[in-house]
Amino acid sequence: MPSRDVSSLLPLFALAGWTALILLLIAFRRIGAGLAGRVRPADFRYGESAGVPPDVCLPNRNYMNLLELPVLFYVVGLIAFVTGQTSPPQLALAWAYVVLRVVHSLIHLSYNNVYHRLAAFALSNFVLLALWVTVFMGLGG
| 97-118: pLDDT as tens digits | 999 999 999 999 999 999 999 9
Residue 66 lies in a domain: yes
Task: Name the residue among 104, 39, 37 with its Cα closest to residue 48.
Answer: 39
**What is the model's pTM?**
0.93
Looking up residue 69, the CATH number of its domain turns out to be 1.20.120.550
Cβ atoms of 29 and 57 within 8 Å: the answer is no
Domain count, the chain: 1
Query: What would the pLDDT profile of 1-35 be if each residue is shown by its tens digit?
Result: 455 778 899 999 999 999 999 999 999 999 999 99
Is residue 11 in some structural domain? yes
Q: Is residue 42 part of a domain?
A: yes
- Phi-psi label, residue 140: left if phi above 0, alpha if psi -120 to 50, beta otherwise: alpha
Question: What's the pLDDT score for residue 47?
Answer: 83
Q: Are 65 and 77 in contact (CB under 8 A)?
A: no
Q: Is residue 1 part of a domain?
A: no
* Residue-level pLDDT at 3: 55
